[in-house]
A = this chain, B = another copy of it.
Amino acid sequence: MEVTIALDAMGGDNAPIPEVIGAVEAKRNFGVNTLLVGDEKRLEKELSHLGAKGLLPIIHADEVVTMEDSAMSPIRKKKRSSLRIAAEAIKRGDASALVSAGNTGAVMATAKLVIGGIPEVERPALAIWIAKSNSFSLLLDVGANSDCKPIHLEHFAIMGSVYASYVLSIEKPRVALLSIGTEEAKGNDLTKEAFKILSSSNLNFVGNAEGHDLFKDVADVIVTDGFTGNVVLKAGEAIYEFIGDTLKKEFRSSLRTKLGYLLSKPVFEKMKRKLDYAEFGGAFLLGVKAVTIICHGKSKPRAIMNALKMARDIAVSGTNEKISSEIKEIMEKNSNGKLESKDFGNGKVSS
C-alpha cells in the first residue's frame, strides 16, 4: 500500500530545517512519501540545499502555530497554519497520516477536530514508549485527557494493546493499570473502577503497576489518566536531566573526576541513546482516524525521519482498523458498554 504522510514542516522549534532534512532522509532511506506543508519558498530552498528539488510535494501554508498559541488556535484563528492545512489534506484524502513537531495541545486538538476520532473510541490518548532494561513499555495517556472516566481507561488499554501487539510482535501484550498499590482495593476511585472493567475484559490484564514498576518488565502497556501520565512523564525527564546536570557539575570538580569522565564517556553515551526520544520519533496519538505522531519541539532530523517512517508503518499495519473492530466487538458483547459510556457524560477535551 502506498501512503503519503502530511508533515507540518513549520511546527518544530528549528523548523523547517530538521523537518525537510528528516523528510528527505525518510524518502531516501525508507521510501517514505512525505507531503511537506509550510512556507513554499523556504521549503523549496531547503530541498534545493539538499539536492532534492522536486523530491517531495509541497502544499503552501503562510501561518505558523507557535508554542505560545492556545491549543484551539488552529481551529479558531490560524486556519491557514501549516498544522491546520496538513490536517485538511488528510481530511480530503491527499495524505493518510500526520506528523508534527509543533505545539502538542494544538496538534491534538487539530487531529481530533479536523481529522476526527475513530468513532468507536471515546477519547484519543497520547502514548509514548518508555525504556526498561531489556525492552520498552507503552505508557498512555500522557496528556490528551486531564480528567478520565473508567471507560476511557478501558479504551486506552484496548488501543495500547493493539498497537503494542503490532510493534512488539506479541499476540497478547500484558496490560497494567498505573496505581498506588498492587492489590485491587488500592488506588483512587477511577483506578478501582477501571480495575474491575479490565479484569473482566479479554485483554491480558496483569493488574496494578506502581510508580516503581514503570521501568521494570511487569507489563507491555501501562494505562493511566492523562493528568497522572503527563506529570510522571515530565517528572521522569526532569529527574534524568537533574541527575545529568548534577553529575556534570561534580565531574568538573577535580582532575581525577575529569579524567574519570573521559574514560566513562562511552557509558554515558550508551545511556543517552537508550533514553533518547529521537530513536522513537515521537508520541503516538491513538484513537484518531489518521495516524498522528507528535514529535518533540527540539526534534533533530533523525527524530523526524523516524517519526515519518513510524507513521507510514503504523498506517499500513492496520492498527486503527483493528482498534475500531476490537472496541466494536466489546460494545456488542457487553450491552452495558455504550450505556455506561453515556452515563459518564462527555468529558472535557484538555486544552
Contact = CB atoms under 8 A, between A and B. Distances in A.
Interface of A: 131-133, 143, 146-147, 178-180, 185-189, 191, 210-216, 224-228, 230-243, 245-247, 250-251, 253-254, 256-257, 259-268, 270-271, 274, 350-351
A267 B249 CA distance: 9
B238 A146 contact: no
Given A240-B239, A351-B185, A211 B227 contact: no
* 9 closest cross-chain pairs (CB), A and B: A211-B234, A260-B263, A260-B264, A211-B235, A215-B242, A212-B238, A250-B267, A212-B234, A146-B188
A225 B227 CA distance: 11
Contacts of A186: 146, 350
A166 B210 CA distance: 32
Report copies per complex. 2
Nearest to A268: B247
Question: Quick one: which of A146, A214, A242, A257 has the most chain B CB within 10 A?
Answer: A242
Contacts of A189: 146-147
Question: Quick one: which of A188, A239, A270 has the most chain B CB within 10 A?
Answer: A239
A230 B211 contact: yes
B260 A256 contact: no
Contacts of A242: 131-133, 215
Nearest to A246: B271
Nearest to A249: B133
Question: Quick one: which of A178, A216, A266, A351 has the most chain B CB within 10 A?
Answer: A266
B261 A266 contact: no
B264 A231 contact: no
Nearest to A242: B215
